[in-house]
Structure formats: structure tokens, C-alpha cells
Structure 1
Amino acid sequence: MPGTTIQAISLYKLLVPLKEPFIISLGPLTAVENIVVVIRTADGHVGYGESSPFLTINGESVDTGFIVGQYFAPALQGRDALDLPGCLAELDRIIYGNSSIKSAFDIALHDVAAQHAGLPLYEFLGGKNDKVLTTDMTVSLGSPAKMQADAVRFQQEGFPAIKVKLGGTLEDDVARIRAIRAGIGPTHPLRIDANQGWQTADRAIAVLQALGEFNIEHCEEPILRQHFMELSRVRAASPIPIMADESCGDEHDAARLIQLQACQMLNIKLGKSSGFHRAQKIARLGEAAGMTLQVGGFLESRLGMTAAAHLALSSPAIHHCDFDTPLMFTDDPVVGGFQYQPGGVIEMPTGPGLGATIDEDWLRRAEQVHF
């Protein structure tokens, strides 16, 4: 279709400091270093996508993504934006991996396609705005006293669930959770994420068993992702359900984990899966296996997180949302997008497409390249 021919593509670096360091077992994060992709078609549609590269998880940085994106842009110019399978296959043909920057192009292409169809992106993906999305709020690693204070503040702010970063020694992590439970009480929903920090199955089992008394909903990625063959043993010995995160990048990872009965849950992120195209394949596999799914992200702005929220509405198996990182930004460059409401509720845009863009003043000031 000539009207939906890709006419121009722009890449921008989106750099925003965080309010305070966000600390996980893989190290501290102090600033957002993302890439925004803007795709324009001959008939005037404009699609936006965002990637949040993560050196220690997807092996990408804002600089590598900015360069690889410049391989993609000229290859997509002149193609039909509605040929999603063909455009996305071209990205895979050009370079292996690089799931983060691929996700930004995938999101922008889906934004264009949904606008062209006159549908909100969640409806274009086959979903409905028929469930209330709520986000948890994350407590980063620190002293028990600091983590307790943060958890109490998040509870008072009305977040329906609190996620806690762990991954230290057994004694330290038990002290952290004990302090948090003393602050928020025994029943407020509590989730934990080790980000591979316990490394081995034996160590993870010991910590999980020690945490069994604290009424924890689930634990994300307790061991090194290279040791995924050991996850089924961790699952069998753990009193806390296991959710795969770093070990579940695409649909092939998901299929392996399901076959191994390695975990009860999967955490889907667009930046791990290369975007909606593969993320939906993971969701369908998890749904068929009767699993509970979560959608999360890295350090995306409300633009990238709005894309994640559209994904969350596309599958009935997705019950948990981890969409809190934009609340950690010192500034919000997004126009439109989902809105945070009291109680951690996410209010979705209902117009055609993604429903989120980046403020033009931000884009003018950003490092950028155009094709």
C-alpha cells in the first residue's frame, strides 16, 4: 500500500536522571539512557517506540542501540509499514540479538499499524480494555531500615503490591524482609526479585526456605540465568513460587522453561523479546500451560511502559504488572500515554495506536539522527 510506505525514521537518545539511585543485585542505576524511534509513513501516520537497553541483561547500551538502529532505518525505508512480519524479519536478518533496539522499532511499527486500523493498540493485538491494570512499586536494595521506610511509604501511597529487590546473603536478605514485614504488616502483598543474585540452586533454596514464613507471592529469577536447567529443582524445594525473568527472553526460552517445569510464572518484557511480535508468542505459550504471567520493563518512560500496558491487556493470563520505573524519573518527557491513578491503577489511552508520544522540546534537545 503506497500510503503506508515508510518515508522517514528518526532515532533520539532519551536521557533523564533518576530521583535517587535504583539498586539491584546487578548494580546501581542512576539515570535513564533510552532510545526513542519515530517512524513516519507517506500518508502521515507517525509511530513511536522506545527501548531501554540494559548492559547486564540484554547486553546493549544506549550507544550500541543508537548505532544498530542506523543499520535498521535505511533497510526499512520504502517498505510497507503494515508488513509487520516482513519488516521485523528484516531486522533479524541484519543482526542477531539486539532485542532492545529491535523492540523500539517493533513498537513504532505496531503503533503505525494500529493507527491505520483505527484501533487502540491493545485491541489491534487482540485484547480488550476489560481488566483493571495495577502496578506494584519496587523497593531497591539497601539497609533493612531504608528498605522498610521505602516499603511503608509505598504502602501509604496506596500501591497494592510491593516488590523488593534482593540477592545478597541469606542473613542480609532475611533481615531486609523481616524489617519490611514489620513495617507493612503480615498481609500486604509482597514480591521479591533476586535478579540472579543468589547464583546457585543450593544457595537460592536456602534463602527461599528461610523466607518462606513471610507470606511472599513469588520470587523472580533466583539463580544465574545460565543455570536454567537447575530452576526446576529450585521450584520443587521453594515454598515461594518461582517466576522466570532474565532466563526468559523470547518464545524459545519460554518453551524450554515450560518443558522443564522450571517455574510457575513468566515475566515478559518487550525489551527482552524484541517487541510485541515475540512477546505475544510467549504469552500464548504461558496461557496454554496454565501459567500466571507478568509484564514488566527496564527503565522505560511512560511511552515504553504504555506499550507494555497494551501488551498486558492482550492476554487473560497476564495478571501482574511492574510499571513503576517512570515514577522514579526526575522529569516526564511523555505526552499522552497511560496515567497513574490512586491505588497504583493504570488508566489507559483509548484512541488509535499506542497513544503516547515524546514532547517535541525534548526531541529537539536530544542527540538524534534522521533517515
Structure 2
Amino acid sequence: MRIKTIKAYRMLQPFIGGAYKMSKGRHADAFDSIIVALTSEEGLTGWGEMAPLGTFYSPAFTAGAEAGVAELAPHLLGRDPRAWAQINRLMDIVFKGHPYVKSALDMACCDLTARAANVPLVTLLGGRESETAELYRVVTHGAPDTMAKLAQRIVADGFNRLQVKVGGGVRGDIERVSAVAAAIPKGTVMFCDANAGWTPFQARQFADATRDIDYVFEQPCPSIDECLSVRRALAKPMVLDESLTTLEDLLAIHRLGVADGLTLKISRIGGVAKTRALRDLAVDMGFMVTVEDTGGAEIDTAAMAHLSLSTPEEHRLHAIAFHDWVTVRTAVAPPPVKGNRMGIPDGPGLGIEVLPELLGKPFLELSEGR
């Protein structure tokens, strides 16, 4: 089995609810997605997707991914997509760093491999651990009363898990979280996510002022060492997200005892295969794990769902359904969402049926021998 053709698309995916807002004025109006199709000699096609959240969230941007995929893709022609480790070593050799550039290509290899084997991708990622994963919803950054009302609407829709955006002015964020906590039923699971927006001084101020509120603290500061300094003074669980991109990061977090949980983002790590490897090690180390990504529609959400549902349930925090965020469609038979839970589509590979006519004109078309 060899990769015969490669196509790549760039697609803007506007958000249904308007701008996605974080602290310090950071916001995005849409995912700007790169979608990749790898077709084998047998006529099977595997799909991959990645989309940065603007240019402010991680060291990734879509124009860079577009240029990088065009550089990398010729090296994959004629290769066996089932050789995940070889494919990733090759990409790392010919294109140093920039894991987000490689993510959609790796995802497409994984999808194509499972389609060729006629099994769902979840089977190749360790097996299905449960039928569905519980979803969380985001309370974006804004005025305290606006955030409280949004949290109430989310809970009224049947969701029990909230990620509340903080990381701006500490006093204002104390008011925001206090307002949200007062507006929702007792027992609602709340994560306070600063998106690495604070210094340790600010994070400790916030933690001290909100000690009577039940929440999980998520990524208060940029670095592992800064988060560790907060962790030492914290009587609440901590989850790290932006700090984790490599195996070395995972080992350091475990060695230092910085966190209880981890959020693994596929494009930040470099694809499904590498994310699966870190996920398995994190589970063995005893961490709680969320597997998601920085953005995308049905393709990327399907990959997130397969990774989530192959994570042992006792170590799984929650999941998110990005295809429900955007106004455009890329596929039929998306990951099924019922209430506050998400499953995986039926069928081999990712299980979705991508409709190329919805993606627009490819910016890259390559064929072996041409």
C-alpha cells in the first residue's frame, strides 16, 4: 500500500456564536483550517485536519501550515501510510520542528490505515473504552454578568462541565468566577482556564481569593516552573495544557508533580500517532487526560473522539465537539452528539464521509510520477 496522490485545502470556518474571546483582548472569529487528503493505489482516501486558534493561542498559524504542507507532502508520495513511526521520523528529518505542520498529514495516514484495515480508528488506538465521552462547554471571557448568564444557559442545555476563561485582570477575574459560581447549581464541574495568562504572583492572588469556590485550576502561567510555584501553594487540582508539547515536557511534569491532569492537543504535539503515544504514557503515569485540538470541524473532531474514547474512562476528563462550533460543513456522518455526550461515527477509519465539493479548490495537488 502506497500513497499515490495528495491534495490539500484551506478552509475558513466561522464560529456560530460570534467571536471566541479569551483574556487580554485575544479573540478569533473563525477557525482557519488546513485539510489534507491522501489517496492510496487502491483508491482509498484518508483525511486529516488542523486549525490554529488565531495566531495568539499557540506558536502556529495557518499560512505557515499551508506553506509547510506544500514542502512536506512530496516526501510522502510513494510511502506506506501504515508505517506511522517511519512517516513521522521522515517528516521530522526533512522538516525540523513545526509539529502543527505535520499534524493533518499524520492524521490522514492514520485514517487511511484504519480504512484499509476496515476497522474504526479507535481500534488501532488501543480499543474503545466506552460508547461516549462527556462534553464540556466554554464560558468565554467577558463581563461578570454576561459570563454568569452564559453559564446558566449552558447548564440549562444539560451540560455539567464548564471551562471558564480567566487570565486577565485578577480582580476582574475574581468577580467573573464568583458570578459564574453563584449562578450555577452546586456540583457543576468548573475549570478556571487562564490560558497561561498570569504571572505566579497573579495566579496566587486569584487562588487565594477564590479558595472557597470549587474548581480545577488550568494552566495559570506560561512555563512548567511557574505553574509549579503556584501548585505548591494550591489546595485545588491543576491541569496543564499549553505547557505540554513533547515527551520531555510530560516527563518533567510528572517528575516535578506539577499537575493532576493534562490536555493533549493533536496539532500541538504533531498528529494522532504522537498524541496516542503521549496519552498512553500519561495514563500509565496516573494523570487524568483530555484529548482535543486547537480547532477544526468534522475531520478533526472525529480524530479527537477516537482518541478520547480509546482513553480509559477512569483517566478521561472530558471532550469537546468543535464541529458544533462552526457554520460550515465538511462531511456527513460526523461524530454523533446527544445531549452532553459525544460518540464516534460508524464505519472504518474516522468514520466520516468527507465531501470534497464543500472544501473549495485545493491549494496543493500532487500525484506520484508527475
> What TM-score do the two structures reach when normalised by structure 2?
0.93
Distance 1:154 1:337 in 2: 22
1:38 maps to which residue? 37
Shift of 1:35: 0.3
Match of 2:63 in 1: 63
The separation in 2 between residues aligned to 1:147 and 1:333, in whole angstroms, is 31
Deviation at 1:38, TM superposition (A): 0.4
Deviations 1:28-49 (A, max 9, x none): 0111101000000001110000
**Where in structure 2 are there 5+ consecutive unaligned residues?**
none
- SS of the residue corresponding to residue 9 of structure 1 reads strand
Q: 1:336 aligns with which of 333, 337, 341?
A: 333
Percentage of matched positions with identical amino acids: 26
User: Does residue 47 in structure 1 map to residue 43 in structure 2?
Assistant: no
**C-alpha distance in structure 2 between counterparts of 1:311 and 1:102, whole Å:** 18
Q: For the residues of structure 2 that align with 1:137 and 1:322, how far apart are their CA atoms?
A: 9
Look up the match of 1:159. Answer: 159
Give the CA deviation at 1:276. Answer: 1.9
Per-residue deviation at 1:366? 4.1
CA deviations 1:237-261 (Å, max 9, x no partner) are 1122111101001222111111111
Report the Cα distance in structure 1 between the residues aligned to 2:187 and 2:230, rounded to whole angstroms: 25
Aligned counterpart, 1:177: 177
Please tell me whether the aligned partners of residues 138 and 324 of structure 1 are also in contact (alpha carbons under 8 angstroms): no
Rounded to whole Å, the distance in 1 between the matches of 2:280 and 2:345 is 24
Asked if 1:203 corresponds to 2:202, the answer is yes
1:315/1:325 Cα in 2 relative to 1: closer, same or farther (>3 Å)?
A: closer
Pairwise CA distance, 1:351: 1.4
Quote the Cα distance in structure 2 between the aligned partners of 1:211 and 1:359. 48
Checking the alignment, whether the CA contact within 8 Å between 2:48 and 2:106 is kept in structure 1 is yes
Q: Is the 8 A contact 2:331 2:354 kept in 1?
A: yes
Give the TM-score, by structure 1 length: 0.93
Task: Flag structure 1 segments of 5+ consecutive residues without an equivalent.
Answer: none
Contact 2:308 2:319 (8 Å CA) reproduced:
no
The alignment covers a number of residue pairs equal to 362
Q: Distance in 1 between matches of 2:265 and 2:79?
A: 27
Which residue number in structure 2 is paired with residue 239 of structure 1? 235
The 3-state SS of whatever aligns with 1:307 is: helix
In the TM superposition, residue 209 of structure 1 has moved relative to its aligned partner by 2.3
Amino acid at match of 1:220: E
Provide the rounded CA distance (Å) in 2 between the counterparts of 1:308 and 1:37.
Answer: 16
Provide the aligned C-alpha RMSD in A. 1.6
Tell me the secondary structure at the aligned position of residue 353 of structure 1.
coil
The equivalent position to 2:5 in structure 1, one of 8, 11, 24, is 8
Contact 2:31–2:52 (CA under 8 A) maintained in structure 1: no
- Once the two structures are overlaid, the 10-residue window that deviates more, 188-197 or 291-300, is 291-300
Runs of 4+ that moved beyond 4 A: none
1:359 has 2:370 as partner: no
